[in-house]
Structure 1
Amino acid sequence: MDKSAQISQLSLKYGFILAAVSIVLSLTLHFVNPVLVYTNFMVSIGIFIVFIALLVISGINIRKEIGGFWTFGEAFKAFLIISLILAITATLYNFVLMKFIDPDLPARAAAAIEDAQRAMMAKFGLGNDEIDAALEKGGNMQEKLEPNFKNTFTSFGVSIASYGIISLILAAILKRKEPETFNTFPTEA
């Protein structure tokens, strides 16, 4: 098997592993507190850090399995395949979760987000009128969370763009050039 096909195969393997981890983590957090991910910034940051670490580990493992060296392009291809699987899985999971498993989640999450935003703005000393104006300016959060074509497509696009940037950064960090070997033996004349 050539190197490119091997990278594709390993990327698919790690992409599906990370997608399964993502679904298990999301379901666990959903059962603990369905709106936690929407209202707790530290939980979101924690999840982001965990997935960056898992992507790095996956990249290092792929690099080892193909011989320890790969170009920026090969690394980017691997991360892009993994990212595409993660973005598709996350988009489908969120759609199914909000449309069929927990159809009341968009309303509950929107209310929890609004409460959290109100509390944060009150801490900064804003009055009720200013808070109401700021929230009204932000638009209807429930509409933004509803699982419809527009929101699903937008979510997928944002995921792909975000993962694309992360893929570029990780590929630049994890590329490893194969050392050049020199023939040090004298040649006969």
Structure 2
Amino acid sequence: METTTTAPVTTTAAGLRYGLLTGFVSIIFTFILLATGQEGNSGLALIAFIILIAGIVFAHKAFKAGNAGYMSYGQGLGIGVLVGGLNGTLSTVFNYVYRTFIDPDMVARTMDQMRAKLEQAGNMSEAQIEQIVGASMKYSTGAIGLAIGVASGFLLGLVFSLIIAAITKKAEPEFE
């Protein structure tokens, strides 16, 4: 009789699979926000963090399922950073495409909303407001915006994974 054993799941495989899945879920969620005009709703934007956290948790669970229930802290950290990085990359590229080709007026609307909020606060001069809006425009569009978005994805993956991996890790016994 032939016995079949499955190969252990690698950290890269788990991170890639769940990073892509989480990225696509984030894109769908972002598109829904944009299509309904809720992109400025910070309460709904928190759901994006929940999506990332869930992606990391599910990636850890899948890794452990393929590795006899074990995962070291370092493996969990690596998986989470990969999930966060892929999620950030896909989301950033989607936002770039959306703002550039689908709704090019969105950037101007967002900057106008920012300007209105700063003016309403009443604690800045017009020159300071223009400086802030100009810097925001520079760092949220083009190649700089893409680089910041991708780096932010990896950074968020790292931050969340530092906590999540500490909770989900299960070290393999050293002596069996």
SS in 1 for 2:104: coil
2:53 alignment partner AA: I
**Offset of 1:14 from its aligned partner?**
1.4
Does the C-alpha gap of structure 1 residues 152 and 26 become closer, same or farther in structure 2, counting only changes over 3 Å? Answer: same
How many residues align? The count is 170
**Offset of 1:134 from its aligned partner?**
4.5
CA contact (8 A) 2:81 2:158 kept: yes
- Once the two structures are superposed, the pairs formed by residues 140-179 of structure 1 within 5 Å of their partners are 140=134, 141-146=136-141, 148-179=142-173
Corresponding residue for residue 89 of structure 2: 88
Corresponding residue for residue 26 of structure 2: 22
SS in 2 for 1:93: helix
1:104 alignment partner AA: D
SS in 2 for 1:142: helix
2:167 alignment partner AA: I
Task: Report the structure number with the largest CA radius of gyration.
Answer: 1
CA contact (8 A) 1:7 1:66 kept: no
**Offset of 1:178 from its aligned partner?**
2.7
Q: Tell me how far apart the structure 2 counterparts of residues 10 and 60 of structure 1 sit (CA, whole Å).
A: 9
- Flag structure 2 segments of 5+ consecutive residues without an equivalent: 1-5
CA contact (8 A) 2:69 2:170 kept: yes
The answer on 1:13 being equivalent to 2:20 is no
**Offset of 1:107 from its aligned partner?**
0.7
Same amino acid, percent of matched pairs: 22
- Flag structure 1 segments of 5+ consecutive residues without an equivalent: 183-189
Q: TM-score, normalised by structure 2?
A: 0.80
1:43 alignment partner AA: L
Corresponding residue for residue 47 of structure 1: 48
Q: TM-score, normalised by structure 1?
A: 0.76
SS in 1 for 2:10: helix
Q: Tell me how far apart the structure 1 counterparts of residues 118 and 51 of structure 2 sit (CA, whole Å).
A: 26
**Offset of 1:20 from its aligned partner?**
1.2
Corresponding residue for residue 62 of structure 1: 63
